[in-house]
Chain A
Amino acid sequence: MKILVTVKRVPDPEQKVKIKDNALDLSGMNFVVNPFDEYAVEAALRLTEKAGTTERLGEVVVLGVGPKDMTQQIRSCLAMGADRAILIEGNDDDLDSEQVARVVTAVYEQEKPDLVLMGKQTVDGDNNQVPQLVAGYLKLPQATFACSLDLAADQKSLLAAREIDGGTENKRVPLPAVASVDLRIVLPQSVKNNVTDASHAYPEGPRYASLKGIMKAKRKPLEQKSAADLGIKDLAPRVQPGPGDEARRATPAPSRYQSGVCGRANAEAHRRSEGLLGLTPNVNAFTVPAPRSAHERGDKHGQRSIGRGAQRR
């Protein structure tokens, strides 16, 4: 079992936001692993271990796309227990969902993992596009917003419970597949691999790196490549900003829908509140302030029938 987990670095959601020239000022910001990606790493580790032992049942490969400094965040995933890592260098400003999805697709072709596991979205851009795009490009089945994962004993399929409006939807995908995870994936019994005792309860939340894990992390392989090494010409955004777009990028619109704010609230809610995880059936509701139709949410039609690509670009 080989799992490719994607990881992005984001400005620490716990920091106070600085505004400069009507835009977020990222200088001197502390960066952390995107919380949802951290949950994906945790889920991948739970899938590939026998809890309570040091036995590894598979390999977890962490993939990051971002600037060189990002090795720090990648090392922290290795310290959690991932086996090795790949960093594709790119400038944060140049990366959009489409570019990242192309990179993930290319790495998939080289690594051929059994599963691509991703956070459902990052808490900076809050786009929620890359997992769907990757599944589409690779023509792989997908299960997004997974709040529980159950790996079949034969390791040929994965049963995912997906967060949807008003409840969860169970969906079995054959492997290889793409899955994205939601907040509740890190509840004590959300991930089963048919090796760890079914009654085992993990501590809630992504695991903390142990001292041993941290000191081991630097010896684990971390491969740094450029997009060109993957056969991708450059990482500039495919859609060039039109007139007025620059201004929109810089000035947050005063709307409740402004995604960054909701994302931050979401991550912070997770960090602060113990009770929240259990109480809220659909945590995604935090990022969707008003009810929207299934069609508008975009992913449902695509995901009900296995294997079709995302509809939302």
Chain B
Amino acid sequence: MPDREFNLDLRDIRFALFEGVDFAQLGTCERFSESDQESIELLLNEAAKFHRDVIAPIDGPGDKEGCRFEDGKVFTPKGFGDAYRAICENGWLGISAGEELGGMGLPTVVEMAVGEMQVGACCSLSLSVGLTNGAAGMLAEFATEEIKKAYLPKLIAGTWQGTMCLTEAQAGSAVGDIKTVARKEGDQWYVTGTKVFITSGDHDMCENHVHLVLAHTQDAPKGIKGLSLFVVPKYLPNAQGNPGDFNDVVCAGIEHKMGIHGSATCVLSFGDDDKCKAFLVGEECQGIRYMFHMMNHARLGVTLQGVGLAAQAYNYAFEYAKERIQGVDIEKLKDPNAERVAIVEHPDVKRMLMWQKAMVEGCRALLYETAFYQDIANGAADEKARTEAQNAVEFLTPVCKAYSSDQGFEVTRLAIQVMGGYGYVAEYPVERHMRDIKIASIYEGSNGIQALDLLGRKLTTKAGLYFRQMLQKMQGWAKDNKEHVQLEGEIETLAKGIDNWSRTTMTLGMKGMQGDRRYPVLCATPYLEMTGNVIVAWLLLKQAVIAHDKLEALHTSEDAQDWETRDQLYAQDPESRYYYNKIETARFFVHNIMLRNRGIAEQIKSEDRSALNLIV
């Protein structure tokens, strides 16, 4: 049994950060001038230590204990309040936020690295942290000075919790159908309505809650264009800025759910007595625009949940498989005296572990690539570079969110499979990871919505500019590296895969242009999977080419020219072993995962409409 539940692959996090993306380029952006590699290495080590020692220990017990709802109050599991405050006090809430928000203005890609630790250590708690961070960022961007002064310091200090109140019982994905209304009496707005599935909507970790509520104002048009955004505190700030009068926001109950047991999912009732004061953010009827503004960031947050939990499950299963002795080597099946081996030696177990490794490292690379573009878009001096990077962010965000959460779930499934019965029982953490990760494909825009976003919005905006830029980037790389000494074959396969993806995109585009709406939408989810597969294959091969150069340098410096000495080197030296495995991982992904795109392309080309034909 592995020593610890919480295991981080800091080596791959560092690789993805410092070698996988052009981290040094960020240093040339003025706003990231403080982010040199040495400081960030120190930051990663300290963050890992903090999350391992302080946060991770509450996750398992918190899952078993769960949140409680008693006498109208929500109680979080033991230790959650202290842990939440420790995160805030140590500055781990929103490290990419500006200094006016109490952050350090660090690159988003660094925030992702720390976020993976936070999610991996305790997913339930990380949601509260992320929501407060998101709410603070939104207010900083759009709210009046008065609102900022009253709420921001409290949110940043972690004494008040921020929430996002969109969903209602009858309106989830179709957020325009909400029934919550806002009316104005004199200068004061009041809201009335009931919101459901509100994460951290009420709990005992903080002294106050700051709800960001979407509502229709009286004369507003129907649908999403008529939505306005309001700040609604649970307790109104008094003259000293502390929680004062109760503001008619009641938690009517919490959900009992499959995972994230330590996170309270609340039903919130606003204005039961018509006394719920609300404060308008920005302008009337612009609510959805403000929400979209922060959506990219929030979707990266959900991507993190996929990567962070999948990584935890894989790391645990891998450690377990190295220790669990069962059966003999396949070559010695008939020898009753054969030595019993660890299950990691069995080909089928190795295949499952490699699948997990490839997917975890691939999704991590995809996330960091996107976050890196976000940083360039925010920080580069050159306007053209900023625009191009922003286009890449727009294109990649729905892919990140849906691909990582779906494939991450698959990783947890395989982690349980590797561990067999022990993976299925609650004594080990992987079944918890599986339950906790499932929600990531549902909230923050379900994965079906992400696929629609990719197909309907991201492919069509600016006459397909986002897609063409991405395509050129990938084709350009494949062309530049097509004679690679070691990975020539895989890169050729990738180039064909890119063409295949491009042709499939055109097929769907043509259908749309011919006025066929139903068929492309039917194909949206498989198309997103195909997109994720080919982009991740590209990113992993990019990493493998870098790893190849580093490994060659080590072969030279260690004088390991033949395979025998190399094997010895890999056995002893973790660096060379890491690089060697990196190359094999990329190979595996191309042959075992990306090649499935051929099937998806065939499926899309087939124009099979049987699902639509189903009579219900």
Contact = CB atoms under 8 A, between A and B. Distances in A.
A32 to B, nearest CB: 8
Given A75-B42, A76-B46, A79-B42, A211 B90 contact: yes
Contacts of B572: 20, 25, 27-28
Interface in B30-71: 34, 36, 38-39, 41-43, 45-46, 49-50, 53-54
Contacts of B574: 27-28
Contacts of A217: 39, 42
Contact of A218 (B39, B53, B92, B575): B39
Contacts of A214: 39, 42-43, 46
A14 to B, nearest CB: 7
B36 A218 contact: yes
Contact of B104 (A25, A28, A72, A215): A215
B554 to A, nearest CB: 12
Nearest to A215: B104
For the residues of B in contact with A, the DSSP-based class is helix
Interface in A216-247: 217-218
A208 interface: yes
A306 interface: no
Contact of A208 (B4, B39, B50): B50
B140 interface: no
A271 interface: yes
Contact of B42 (A20, A25, A72, A203): A72
B92 A72 contact: no
A91 interface: no
A209 B90 CA distance: 7
A210 B104 CA distance: 11
Contact of A28 (B3, B89, B90, B573): B573
Interface residues of B, number: 26
Contacts, number: 60
Nearest to A75: B42
A295 interface: no
A211 B43 contact: yes
Contacts of B41: 72
Most buried by A among B34, B89, B91: B91
Contacts of B3: 14, 16
Contacts of A215: 34, 39, 43, 104
Interface in B75-91: 86, 89-91
A313 interface: no
A240 to B, nearest CB: 29
Nearest to B578: A28
Contact of A211 (B45, B49, B91): B91
Most buried by A among B42, B54, B86, B92: B42
Nearest to A80: B46
Contacts of B45: 72, 76
A214 B575 CA distance: 26
B399 interface: no
B249 to A, nearest CB: 32
A212 interface: yes
A211 B92 contact: yes
Given A215-B104, A218-B36, A208 B43 contact: no
A267 to B, nearest CB: 12
Interface string A59-77: 0000000000000100110
B95 interface: yes
30 contacts: A14-B3, A14-B4, A25-B572, A27-B572, A27-B573, A27-B574, A28-B572, A28-B573, A28-B575, A75-B38, A76-B45, A76-B46, A79-B46, A208-B46, A208-B49, A208-B50, A208-B54, A209-B50, A210-B89, A210-B91, A211-B90, A211-B92, A212-B91, A214-B39, A214-B43, A214-B46, A217-B42, A218-B38, A218-B39, A218-B42
Given A208-B90, A217-B42, 17 more contacts: A25-B572, A28-B573, A72-B42, A72-B45, A75-B38, A75-B42, A76-B42, A79-B46, A203-B86, A205-B53, A208-B49, A208-B86, A212-B104, A215-B43, A217-B39, A218-B39, A218-B42
